Structures are given as C-alpha cells and as structure tokens.
A and B are shown apart, each in its own frame.
Chain A
Amino acid sequence: MPSICFYFQVHQPKRLRRYTIFDINQSHFYESDEANSSIMRKVAYKCYLPTNELMLELIKKYNGAFRISYAVSGVAIEQMKRFSPETLDSFKRLADTGCVEFINETYYHSLAFLYSKEEWKRQVQQHNELMRQEFGQAPTTFRNTELIYHNEVAKAAEELGFKTILAEGADKILGWRSSNFVYEPVNCNNIKLLLKNYQLSDDIAFRFSNRGWASYPLTAEKFSNWVHEVDGNGETINLFMDYETFGEHQWEDTGIFKFLYALPEHILRNPSFNFKTPSEVADSYPVRDKVDVPYYVSWADTERDLTAWKGNYLQDDALEAIFSLEEKVYRTGNDELIQTYRALTTSDHFYYMCTKWFADGDVHKYFNPYESPYEAYINYQNVLKDFTQTVEKELMVQVA
C-alpha cells in the first residue's frame, strides 16, 4: 500500500539592507525592512495564502485522507508576524486539521551544522519551541537546511530524539536502489531516513511549465499514472519541494493550482494508494536497507552538494568570519546580539555569494537581491565588521 509523502519547504531569509563601509559605527541596523516586507507580502499573495486555502479545502474534501507536511523556518515565521499575520493564521488553521505535520529545522535556516554543532543544537531547539508555541506540535521529524545531509547529521538528529530525517535521494547515495523505500542511516538505530524522489518532485517543481519538456503539459492524471507505476516496487513516494513552487516559481496561469487541486482525486483512484506525512511513513513501513553517506549532499543545483553556499573564497571567508565570533557573542550574554549573530548564519547570505554563474547561474541570479556575488560579500562583510565592533565594545563595557 504505497504512500505519497508531501513535504514543503517554507522559508524567507531576512535580507540585509545596503550597508556600506561608511555605515560602520554609524548604524547598527542591518535588515532591509523594505525588501523583506515587500517580498513577504508578494509571496503571501501569490503563493502562501491561495495555496494554504487550497490545502485546507483538499483536507476537508478528502476527510483526512489528504495529508501533507511543512518545514517553516523561524525567520519566515518572524516575518509573517510582522508583514503578513494572515499567512501565519492560515498555517495555524492547517495545523488544527490534524492532517499536517510540522517538521523541525534550524530556526535560522542556517549552515550551523557545518561549523558548530553546539550552535546547530541551539537553533534546532529554538525552532522546536517555536513549533510547539505556534502550531501546538512537538516535531519528531528533522530536516536540515536545504536537505544538507551527512551520516553525522543523522547521528546528531538521532541524539536529539528525532525519529525521522529527510534527505535528497541523490544517485550517489542510492546507486541502483530506489528512493521509494524507508532507509536507516548507517550507525543509527532509532531514526529512519526518507529520501526525496527527485524525478517526480522536480517534474512538479521545475518542469511543470517547461514547454520544451516532452511530457508538457503535465496533468494530474498523467502524474498519477507515473505514481501508480510504483505499485508493487515501492512503499513511499517522497515529493519534497519549495512551497513557493505553487504560484511563485510556477505562476497561477501555468495551471499549477488546478493541477494540485485535481491531484488527490487521481492518486486515490487507485485504492492501494494513500497520503502520509513523514512520521506516519516512518511508522508504517519497515527499514529496507542501511544508507551510508560519509560526505555532504543537498538538494541544490545539479551538483547536489554544498557548492551553492560554500567552497569559493568569498563564501568560506564569510562563513569562517561569522562562526569565529560565536564564543565572543555568547560571552556578552546579550540576547539581542545573540539573535543578530544567529540571523547572520542564515544560509541565504552565502548562497548570494555563489560564483557558479555559467551552469546554475540563472537560478542563483533569480533569487539574488544583489547585482553580483561580490556585492553580496562586500555588504555582508561591512555588516559583520560593524557587528564585530559592537560585540567587542559590549565585552569591554562588561569588563569595565
């Protein structure tokens, strides 16, 4: 009895304002309220509000048989509260249905795991509290930022008590094996691994409106037929994608909402299929094999590795600079400085510094508020310089 397991990533970074070297010591305000509010409102209008509405309708219509999951970053929720409270309300209504699982991640959608396990734990904990507070759920499923995964991530999540973890079903992990089964991370006994079916996920997320694609146009019926082919040789079809797929990456006029609305009906036509959330999938199916991932994978770009955030001179320098401040920041005990520090670990800051222009450049450019990766680096370093001085001043005051 195979299941469809939907997971949607909901994240909006807190973008920095234009901050030049001449702002250092003059202003300690780093965020661009203007950009952040206009983007949050735009995405809420095009995606979050209509898609949430549609999901609520489907959940009602299928009487609990349609089930989905979300990971909503803490920084996204902070911005919903400020700029689009009705969006947060509609997520709460979804939580109230009992058909929606909220997944734990780092509050700041950060790269902390790569540099500081302690900081990572704190940010996971902070997000865990937020999920309880906003949605009344204690998450048992964990998903690291942008599906960044490694044996060590699974081990650390298991130690925190998580029962399920999500990752990219990259070919290099699976080899000949299929993503359509439940796996167990090597060296773990109490946590199960769900791997993204990137073929079917990307058919919706990336190819849906591509007129050059042989299967264009994609209908709910066609997609369901592909899903039904799994019957007999798979137990879970993990469809993981950005929530902004609906209405923002794929605009309404592509027919994406009609597709989504019709999908459950076509999937459920085959009575052996159902919808389950990640923790339900983990509970329902046995582990079929162990998976060993002694290197980092993610869901980004064609490389499915860390090079969207890390690896060029700009990114490595900026990452080392921020994480090297950790000890000093916590020594101040100043809560405001700690929150600022954490916000500067958000992965997007480093994504903007990516110089892989020629192959994956288009996607990076689309999501980049800066004219170039160099501008992103310069702005970030200027902010960091001011923040470093502020932290150092605070420590001096405390000593005196």
Chain B
Amino acid sequence: MYGWEFPPFISGGLGVACYDLTKALSAYGEEITFVLPTMKGKDVDISHLNLLDSNEIRVPEIINKSKSKDISYEDFIEKINLIGIESALKPYITEKSYQEFLERLNESKTITDTIDIDEATETNFYNFSISGDYGPNLISEVFRYAFVAGSVAAEVEHEVIHAHDWLTFLAGVEAKRISGKPLICHVHALETDRSGVSVNQQIYEIEKRGLEAADQIIAVSYLTKNSIVNYYGINPDKISVVHNAVSKKKSTQRNDSVRKDPDEKIILFLGRITFQKGPDYFLEAAAKVLKKYPKARFVLAGSGDMVNRLIERTAELKIGRNVHFTGFLKRPEVEEIFASSDVYVMPSVSEPFGISCLEAILYDVPVVISKQSGAAEVLQSALKVDFWDTDELANKILNILNHEALRKELQSQAAEELKHIQWEKSAKHVIEVYDAVKNASDNKALCA
C-alpha cells in the first residue's frame, strides 16, 4: 500500500483515513506493507529504502490516552511492515511549498525548469534515483519517488498494489510494471476538487495516468466517482465506491469552560483555508449570523493560501471581534476545539468525503455540511446546504443556536447513525475489491 503519511505525522483527512483503513484491514488478517515518503532517515542509503524500526515511531498522545479495547497502536504497528522512502514529498504539497523547502535546504539556486511528463522516461527515473538528490521541482520529485518506491515491489512479496491519491499513483504504476500484480487506485481527492477551474495540468495528467493504469479504482463517494468519470473519462464499471468512516475513540470530554457567558456560542470551521474547503462562504454566513446573534464566535482552524484574503474580508465586514483564525492545529488541539464547539460547519465547494464532520459528531457537535460533499451521501442526521447559499447556511446555524431541541435531536440521531459508519464495514468492502481484482488477474493468467 502506498500512502502519504502515517501517524504520528498526520496533517489531514487522508492520513487519518489511511491509518484507520489499514488498521481495520489488518484486523481482518490482511498483511500490509505500507510505503510512504519520509524525511526521517538522515543517512540515505543507496537503495533509498529506509526501513523504519517500529520502536522509532513515537506513539501519539491521542492513542496513548485511549483506554479502548481496540488493538493498541504498538500491536498494530508490529503487524504491518512500514517502509519509509527518503523523499521531500509531503501531503498537500504545492510547487511553491516544494520550492520553499528546497530553498531551506540551502540550495545554491532554485531550479524552476519543468519536465514534460511524456518525456519522463525510465531513464529519467534512473538518473534521479542514483543522484540521491531531491528532484529540482515537485513533479520531478514525484517521478523520482515513484521509481524508488515502485521498486519496493521487487523486494516485498504482495498480491495487490493499493495506492492513495496522486502523489503515489505513479509509484503504484511502477510497482505494477515490476510485479505484474493488479493495481488499485484509491481516490480521496482529485486535482479538480482541490483547484476548481485552475487545474494544474501536470498533476491532472499524473492522476489520469494512474486511473487509466489501475485495474480497479476506489472512490470515497459517488460524487468522486462521477468526477472520475466526467473529468477523467474513466469507465464507471471500473470504479467502486467505498465511503470513509470514523473510528470510535475520542479522548476529550465536552468542554464549555472557554465561554465567558453561557449564551456565547462557538461555530467552527476546520480544514485547509483553501478554495476547495469554502472558508469564504463560512465568513459571509458568519456576518449574517452575527446580525441576529451577536454573541456567536466563529473559529477558522487551519492554514492555507486564502488566510490573508479572509482576514482582510473579516475587517471589511467589521466582524473581527467575533472571528478567530487559529492557524494550523495539531491533533490534541483539534480535539480540544471540537470538544468546545456548538456547531461544526463544512461548507466545502467540492469535498470527496469530509471525515472531519464525522469527527465533530463524535464530540456531539451538530453539523452543517455542504450538499457538495461525499459525507452528505451517508449522513442523514446533518443539516445540508448548497455551499454558495450563505443565507441558508446562516438560517441553519441560527436555528441550531436558538433551539435546544434541534441540537438534541441532531446529537442523538447522529450518534446513532455513527454506529453504522464504521471502518470495519469499509474495510470489508475494500477486501471485496481486492478479491475481485485478484480473481480477474488469476483468470487472465489462466487464459494466457
């Protein structure tokens, strides 16, 4: 399995999903080798394979605290084979942030020339790999990583290759070239979700190449399945939908102590402050809510390229006193903010799934989510709005603030519903996909 990140280094929903999914798969007896880019190993060996000892991984605080009867983090880590590949890739990376990283590495000059994907032949890969340096730009680093990570397929026995999102799709394709085993591309988000109309063409091409090479695709929602069909021209029969879920643990109890006054209510946005997540709609709705409920406080937790613009807009709307930008929050802080919120809003413009709203429900927080989200497909006990309809968003937030009955019904029904949105169920579905591609490839071998 190729992923981007693994606990304790988690920066977004994808990392949470990968961790919970592998955990549920391994509980069903699946043996998993998890390959991910890492910058932990300082001494890069020639093969660029860096086997991390499980003892090196710090057990995160969240999991330590939980007294659940689930298998412990340590036991679980022992069950899977974790392989870190030295690379400068990290989740949600952009060309800009990649270049900033290279600069920090004290590169003498910034190399900005891009490479044409169609010309990126195996020779290129080979060169990158023996040079031992990071690629001069993001895309070349992705190719370099793909080649090295893909070569794990020659070293480790496996039946199925499972790759998560575009950063690892090419590694999956390379692994399939080496071992001939079936490839599953698991789509958590697409470039068309992240960037709207201003799509990065190179990333789009990488996604398309992975999706076309895949024997089967797993999409986290029907919404995403439709995008894969419509924007990438993939045959819908090749796409299975497996919804995400949430694992049952929480470590923090509800905390109302942050309020100065019981009527003060906290409305939370949590996610990257980027186009995809719709934080600007959250802000517009906040201004409308504040006209009718002046004691509301709006928290935007996360970082991203829209922060400055939104701070300016907050000033323009004259609601700065009630709007708080926290910047990027670490896990324990995320839990704390969930536990002190009264409403969670996920106004995403395009959200393949949106696990964060399920997490909010774990903390008994009523949620308002956009209809343009995969989570809306599985969750009934949520209020749903079109992301652009800020009047309606304000209408719903205000009604939650004003009516205890609405809060209580949402809380009790959502808690009940969450019992059925579990990773065990999703993992079972993934295993069905594994079995199907294994059978198909066995049949192919027989015919040949």
Interface residues of A (CB under 8 A from B): 20-22, 312-314, 316-318, 355, 357, 371-375, 377-378, 381-382
Q: Contacts A22-B391, A382-B399; is A357 near B409 (CB within 8 Å)?
A: no
Measured between beta carbons, the chain B residues less than 8 angstroms from A373 are 409
CA distance in complex: A201, B403 (Å): 41
Asked if residues A372 and B384 are in contact (CB atoms below 8 Å), the reply is yes
Asked if residues B399 and A378 are in contact (CB atoms below 8 Å), the reply is yes
Task: Show 23 residue pairs from A and B whose CB-CB distance is below 8 angstroms, ordered by the A residue.
Answer: A20-B391, A20-B395, A21-B394, A21-B395, A22-B288, A22-B391, A22-B394, A313-B406, A313-B409, A314-B406, A314-B409, A317-B404, A355-B381, A355-B413, A372-B380, A372-B383, A374-B406, A374-B409, A377-B405, A377-B406, A378-B395, A381-B402, A382-B395
Asked if residues A316 and B395 are in contact (CB atoms below 8 Å), the reply is no
Q: Contacts A374-B383, A382-B395; is A316 near B406 (CB within 8 Å)?
A: no
Q: Check if B410 is an interface residue, CB within 8 A of chain A.
A: yes
Asked if residues B398 and A314 are in contact (CB atoms below 8 Å), the reply is no
Of residues A22, A316, A357, A375, which shows the largest number of chain B Cβ atoms within 10 Å of its Cβ?
A: A22
Q: Contacts A21-B292, A371-B384; is A378 near B405 (CB within 8 Å)?
A: no
- What's the minimum C-beta distance from A356 to chain B, rounded to whole angstroms? 10
Further contacts, 15 of them, CB under 8 A, given A20-B391, A378-B396: A20-B395, A21-B394, A21-B395, A21-B398, A313-B405, A313-B408, A314-B406, A317-B403, A317-B405, A317-B406, A355-B381, A357-B380, A374-B383, A381-B399, A381-B406
CA distance in complex: A50, B404 (Å): 47
Q: How many A-B residue pairs have CB under 8 A?
A: 58
Q: Which of B329-386 contact A (CB under 8 A)?
A: 380-381, 383-384
CA distance in complex: A375, B398 (Å): 13
CA distance in complex: A21, B395 (Å): 5
Chain B interface residue count, Cβ-Cβ cutoff 8 angstroms = 23
Measured between beta carbons, the chain B residues less than 8 angstroms from A377 are 399, 403, 405-406, 409
Q: Check if B392 is an interface residue, CB within 8 A of chain A.
A: yes
Measured between beta carbons, the chain B residues less than 8 angstroms from A20 are 391-392, 395
Asked if residues B406 and A378 are in contact (CB atoms below 8 Å), the reply is yes
Q: Check if B412 is an interface residue, CB within 8 A of chain A.
A: yes
Measured between beta carbons, the chain A residues less than 8 angstroms from B413 are 355
Of residues B394, B403, B409, B410, which shows the largest number of chain A Cβ atoms within 10 Å of its Cβ?
A: B409
CA distance in complex: A119, B408 (Å): 29
Measured between beta carbons, the chain B residues less than 8 angstroms from A372 are 380, 383-384
- What's the minimum C-beta distance from B405 to chain A, rounded to whole angstroms? 3
Measured between beta carbons, the chain B residues less than 8 angstroms from A357 are 380
Asked if residues A313 and B394 are in contact (CB atoms below 8 Å), the reply is no
Flag B276-289 by CB within 8 Å of A: 1 or 0 each: 00000000000010
Asked if residues A312 and B409 are in contact (CB atoms below 8 Å), the reply is yes
- What's the minimum C-beta distance from B146 to chain A, rounded to whole angstroms? 44
Interface of B is mostly: helix
Q: Which residue of A lies closest to B405 (CB)?
A: A317
CA distance in complex: A382, B408 (Å): 18
Asked if residues B403 and A381 are in contact (CB atoms below 8 Å), the reply is yes
CA distance in complex: A313, B402 (Å): 14
CA distance in complex: A355, B408 (Å): 12
CA distance in complex: A378, B366 (Å): 14
Measured between beta carbons, the chain A residues less than 8 angstroms from B408 are 313
CA distance in complex: A377, B396 (Å): 11
Measured between beta carbons, the chain B residues less than 8 angstroms from A312 are 409
Measured between beta carbons, the chain A residues less than 8 angstroms from B403 are 317, 377, 381
Task: Select B409's contact among A21, A22, A355, A381, beta carbons within 8 Å.
Answer: A355
Of residues A317, A357, A378, which shows the largest number of chain B Cβ atoms within 10 Å of its Cβ?
A: A378
CA distance in complex: A378, B409 (Å): 12
Measured between beta carbons, the chain B residues less than 8 angstroms from A314 are 405-406, 409
Q: Which residue of A lies closest to B368 (CB)?
A: A374
CA distance in complex: A357, B408 (Å): 17
CA distance in complex: A318, B406 (Å): 10
Asked if residues A21 and B406 are in contact (CB atoms below 8 Å), the reply is no
Measured between beta carbons, the chain B residues less than 8 angstroms from A382 are 395, 399
What are the 8 closest A-B residue pairs judged by CB atoms, nearest first? A317-B405, A313-B409, A313-B405, A20-B395, A313-B408, A378-B399, A21-B395, A314-B409
- What's the minimum C-beta distance from B376 to chain A, rounded to whole angstroms? 11
Of residues B383, B405, B412, B413, which shows the largest number of chain A Cβ atoms within 10 Å of its Cβ?
A: B405
Measured between beta carbons, the chain A residues less than 8 angstroms from B391 are 20, 22
- What's the minimum C-beta distance from A23 to chain B, rounded to whole angstroms? 9
Measured between beta carbons, the chain A residues less than 8 angstroms from B399 are 21, 377-378, 381-382
CA distance in complex: A318, B405 (Å): 9
Measured between beta carbons, the chain A residues less than 8 angstroms from B402 are 381
CA distance in complex: A228, B383 (Å): 52
- What's the minimum C-beta distance from B412 to chain A, rounded to whole angstroms? 7
- What's the minimum C-beta distance from A57 to chain B, rounded to whole angstroms? 46
Q: Which residue of A lies closest to B292 (CB)?
A: A21
Measured between beta carbons, the chain A residues less than 8 angstroms from B383 are 372, 374-375, 378
CA distance in complex: A98, B394 (Å): 56
- What's the minimum C-beta distance from B372 to chain A, rounded to whole angstroms? 15
CA distance in complex: A316, B384 (Å): 23
Asked if residues A374 and B410 are in contact (CB atoms below 8 Å), the reply is yes
CA distance in complex: A378, B402 (Å): 10
CA distance in complex: A314, B410 (Å): 9
CA distance in complex: A280, B392 (Å): 54
CA distance in complex: A312, B381 (Å): 13
CA distance in complex: A313, B366 (Å): 14
Measured between beta carbons, the chain B residues less than 8 angstroms from A371 are 384
Q: Which residue of A lies closest to B412 (CB)?
A: A313
Measured between beta carbons, the chain A residues less than 8 angstroms from B405 are 313-314, 316-318, 377
Measured between beta carbons, the chain B residues less than 8 angstroms from A316 are 405
Measured between beta carbons, the chain B residues less than 8 angstroms from A22 are 288, 391, 394-395
- What's the minimum C-beta distance from B392 to chain A, rounded to whole angstroms? 7
